[in-house]
Structure 1
Amino acid sequence: MLTTILRSVIRQARRHPLYVGLNVFGLALGIGVFLTLALLVRFEYSYNASLPDVDRLVRVDEYFTLPGNAPRESPGVTFRAVPFLREDFPEIEDASRVEAETLQVERNGSFTAFDAYLTDPSLFRLFGVTMLHGSPSDALSRPDGLVLSQKAAQTLFGTTEVLGRTVEINRNGTRSAHVVTGVLAARADPDFFSRIEIFVPLPAEDMRPFLTRSLIFRNYLPTARIS
């Protein structure tokens, strides 16, 4: 039976090569589109799925409307909202600010750009991530602390045994020295930490604008764990 079908296909291809070619191309294109969409859906559903208690993590977004404009939603909100949210929702266990930046690391006279998070010491505790070296609970507790991803440690020092080493960071023209206090283990699945290579504590002065100007928003992503 299969031989008969194959002979029929070959005969049709010889008689109508353009027609058969278009059908084969359409079939291949359809399969390719289906597989691409399936991979995209799989990625979206697997993102952050490996994090412990991910169903208890919440990102606070801002929804606002400016005069004459359509309503907008933004992940960048003021961290001043957290104390008020704690009053209204006592289920909140913890929270952390996150500011995404690209930091320049100076080493041997050259600069290398890394995707970074400026954040609070509670971040690793909040997400329950594991460290290759160092302790997640206090890796960012010191103002000059710094956590590298496994890849960043290899890029900068050629090894992951880098606790206590010094990294020079250039942030918007301001240089500062940081001591490596942790190395984040490589991420097996796509999540909130996958592309981030450096984690540094948020400077204390970054909170000053919020004390008097509540409308000045930085790209902070307050994230809370609820019980």
Structure 2
Amino acid sequence: MLRNYLITAIRNLTKNRTYALINIIGLALGIGCSLVIFKVIQFENSYDKHQERYENIYRISNESIYPDRVDKGMGTPHPVGPALIEDYPDIEQVTRTYYQEEAQINIKKPNGDIQKFLLDEGIVFTENSFFKIFTTEWLAGNKETALSEPNTVVLSLSAAKKLFGLENGHEVEAMGKIVDLRGDFQSHRNHS
């Protein structure tokens, strides 16, 4: 029975080649577009799922309107953060961040030599409330007090290893060391 259906389908396809080709291409395009749309929606809905409170995290963006165009961006003036807390009591936390591409970091070695590192991935300036919003794993230090004082730094595991040449299991030794961004070796203490 199935063999008869298959033979009939092949005869119809060979008889009406143009019509069959249009139908097959249309079916393939429809399936392909559906898969692409599914993957895009799946990707868009996967953001921040690793954060414990991802459903309560929002990003503020801006829109600059000019006579000839409209620019949308992710930067907002710094006073926006405190103004949001003041004007909207339902907001629990606000954190402001500033990303700087390709930062040079200087490390003063015990012998007095200065070792320079170019961080291609850049650095982020932020405040203590960042750690109250985003889920982070801490190897050392205290996330409640990190970045609460000026000239303090929080390093990722990979940055601590790279900057201080630490072996696995010795990353805690980066605590209290000086990291210099500007080249003047002010006291930039880090919290790993």
Tell me the CA shift for residue 56 of structure 1. Answer: 3.0
Give the match's secondary structure for 1:32: helix
1:78-118 Cα deviation digits (max 9, x unpaired): 12133333332233332211112323466977745115422
Gaps of 5+ in 1: 183-227
For 2:143, the equivalent position in structure 1 comes to 136
Q: CA RMSD in A?
A: 3.8
Percent of counterpart pairs with the same letter?
22
**Structure 2 unpaired stretches of 5+:** 107-114
Shift of 1:55: 3.4
| 1:14 to partner: Cα distance | 5.1
Is the contact made by 1:162 and 1:180 (CA closer than 8 Å) also made in structure 2? no
Q: CA deviation at 1:168?
A: 6.3
Q: Distance in 2 between matches of 1:9 and 1:153?
A: 63
TM-score (norm 1): 0.57
What SS does structure 1 have at the residue aligned with 2:89?
Answer: coil
Q: CA separation of 1:141/1:164 partners in 2, compared to 1, >3 Å: closer, same or farther?
A: farther
Structure with a larger share of its residues in strand? 1
The equivalent position to 1:181 in structure 2, one of 161, 169, 191, is 191
Partners of 1:63 and 1:51 in 2: how far apart?
27
Question: Partner letter of residue 74 of structure 2?
Answer: P
8 Å contact kept, 1:168–1:176: no
TM-score by length of 2: 0.65
- Paired position in structure 2 for 1:85: 84
Name the aligned partner's letter for residue 124 of structure 1.
F
Residue 42 of structure 2 is matched in structure 1 by: 42
Residues 1:118 and 2:125 are matched in the alignment: yes
8 Å Cα contact 2:146-2:152 kept in structure 1: no
Amino acid corresponding to residue 146 of structure 1 in structure 2: V
Counterparts of 2:85 and 2:117 in 1: how far apart (Å)? 45
Who wins on radius of gyration, i.e. which is larger? 2
Query: Contact (CA 8 Å) 2:100, 2:123: kept in 1 or not?
Result: yes
- 2:85·2:93 contact (CA, 8 Å) conserved in 1? no
What number of residue pairs does the alignment pair up?
Answer: 175
Q: Which residue of 1 aligns with 2:110?
A: none
